[in-house]
A and B are shown apart, each in its own frame.
Chain A
Amino acid sequence: MTLTAISRRRLLKVGAAGLAASALPFGIARAQTNVVLGIVYVGPKDDFGWNQAHAVSVESLKALPGITVVEEENVPETDAVSKSMESMINLDGANLILATSFGYYNPFVVELAKKYPDVTFRHAAPLWNKDKDPANAGSYFPYLNQAHYVNGVAAGLSSGGKIGFVAAKPIPSVLSNINSVLLGARSVNPNATVQVIFTGEWSLPVREAEATNALVDAGCEVITCHVDSPKVVIETAEGRGVKTAGHNASQAPLAPKGFITGAEYKWETIYKSYADDIAAGKTPPNFLVGGYNNDMLRNTPYGAGATPEAIAAADAAIAALVAGAPIYKGTLKDNAGNVVVDKDYDNYDPYLDGMNWLLEGVQGSIT
């Protein structure tokens, strides 16, 4: 019942591909390496949100020569994910694993990467640490808060400035989107506010609808959100006759009257570059993060809810972000009155990754 025999055989089988995929100093660049890409999703891959954004991008890779894609959906953040990834390696010969949910990383991706040094692991959150984590693991992540900043700019000029935000959990990546919407809106309308309601879960349609209704009842004129699947929020808000801004994937068709724009990932930029690297015999970068400045984000084409001045201002904001203009700058207080930002922070500053505050102007509490 030991695994050594199996591992050795497996090594021989996928060894060639594995060697080329990993960062060996004597790696000989091959013109064509077979890439077997295994990707795991935490939910259904057609959820109108996070998982779908990944699945659509991976779909575009399937047409490329020399790439086989194996996919598994609804994989929980338990040992099920390490077994699923390991099964992809052992049974399908996967040599590039994309783990797309935050909770997959520690301990699952890290431990598996140590066990399979020939397989390249990449995880969709900026967690890889070059001192602690294995060299065949790595991170990729577009900073969606930049696109939410643009949402905020467009929303601030398409309404009176009262924005409602339906959020899943009070964690840094969500808080960063909320704060960025506020800063975007305040950049064009100093009186803008954001009111937030946390549902406590990533997907809970009835409560998301209730939260949307509560925000509209509280006078919000634009609704945006950060939940796994924004469909319910956008449709409920459209039904209430308020404007909406999207999240994760395009929700424009769901709100023909009030849709302003939406924050979207461009995972395909990253996935294409990975595939190209491996096909060329290179190792994909261990740490690949970005935003507007390197084509990893986009905003959904403007809908009927966007006013002309909002479109102009949002386009200008995108241009500024492409040039690297900081979002968190100057002196900013949180909504309890503490100074939390006292200088201009680069958009990728690690300080911002650990954000645990809501800025002054956001109504809501993270406890």
Chain B
Amino acid sequence: MDNALVTVLIAMLGGAIRVSTPFMFVALGETLTEKSGRINLGLEGNLVLGAMVAYAVSYLSGNAWLGVLAAGGSGLCLGALHGYICKLPRVNDIAVGIAMMSFGTGLAFFFGKPFIQPSAPRLDAIPLGDWTGNPALAQALQVNPLFFVGIALAVFMFWAFRNTRWGLIVRMTGDSAASAKAMGVSVDLVRFLATAAGGFLAGIGGAFLSLYYPGSWNQGLSSGQGLMAVALVIFARWDPIKCIFAALLFGAAGALGPSLQSIGISQGYYFFNAAPYILTLIIMIISAGSKASARDVPGELSITK
């Protein structure tokens, strides 16, 4: 039993590291966008399009990192489109997000057809666990560089929101457009840039999916991870560092179903597989409505009104 428990724990550790990165990037991108006072529900579209573009570019150019960059670029374009449309008066940002989601996935499926078959060069992992002498643990600690990029980015964002002029401007725009305007800040421009940059990050998250884990392009690749990542921002209370932990928790929860089956617990696997959704909902219910949460929410966010 102890052995089984260790197996599950190692699997969850590995799952957390392997599965969390796309969540991380999308959540960080969304945090940036939401901090500026806008919500982009369409990052699922960026994620899927990014995955396709990354795979296609990596295949055509032979360089996986070029694919990552191109994925970011495609995400940037979708994000910029979202940011631009939302600038228009009386346009609802949540609705535009849903539209961008269907537009982005549509484009990805349409142009992704020829890339389902070929094998593209993937991203390599850094073996961090070889010293442990335990093959399962060594495997769990095979880490893709993007994972660390995500963590570094979160720390940077956390720091930048507090300590830089740019960070301050973004937060101010998100908390009160009126006071930002009074300070001479172009609210629309800040939100446009924040949405575009957020889209860029979500595109990178897509590249991780197709070029590292699971490392393949097909139409079912994301299965809603981009949407979940947006949910994750809410329960991370718009804090980049908490986003990382939330993403890790999601990854671990995703590994729970398969690893429980691998030690012989297979009853009700549908509910183990639905664990991340149930978990998110419960955390949202518990954390919503508290005083602390009201303090964290960017004041201009339509999602909280």
Contact = CB atoms under 8 A, between A and B. Distances in A.
Does chain A bind chain B? Answer: yes
Interface string B231-274: 00000000000000000000000110111011110110110010
Select the residue from A195, A207, A210, A240 with max chain B CB neighbours within 10 A: A210
B63 interface: no
Contact of B215 (A200, A213, A236): A236
Nearest to B215: A235
A199 B18 CA distance: 17
Interface in B112-170: 113, 116-117, 119, 136, 139
B11 A207 contact: no
A213 B139 contact: yes
A44 B119 contact: no
Given A229-B218, A236-B215, A214 B267 contact: no
Contacts of A331: none
B228 to A, nearest CB: 11
A196 B264 CA distance: 9
A206 interface: yes
Interface residues of B, number: 38
A73 to B, nearest CB: 10
> Is the contact region of chain B dominated by helix, strand, or loop, or is it mixed?
helix
Interface stretch (A215-223, A267-275, A298-306): A215-223
A204 B216 contact: no
B70 to A, nearest CB: 21
A251 to B, nearest CB: 11
A365 B266 contact: yes
B176 interface: no
A232 interface: yes
Contacts of A47: 116, 218
Contact of B139 (A200, A240, A253): A240
B254 A207 contact: yes
Interface in B1-33: 7, 10-11, 14-15, 18-19
Nearest to A164: B262
Interface stretch (B71-79, B219-227, B295-303): B219-227
Given A44-B219, A46-B116, A218-B7, A197 B214 contact: no
Contacts of A105: none
A196 B139 CA distance: 20
B214 A232 contact: yes
A123 B100 CA distance: 38
Interface of B: 7, 10-11, 14-15, 18-19, 113, 116-117, 119, 136, 139, 209, 213-216, 218-221, 223, 225, 254-255, 257-259, 261-264, 266-267, 269-270, 273
What 8 pairs across the A-B complex have the smallest Cβ distances?
A209-B214, A214-B262, A203-B220, A365-B266, A211-B258, A214-B258, A205-B214, A217-B136
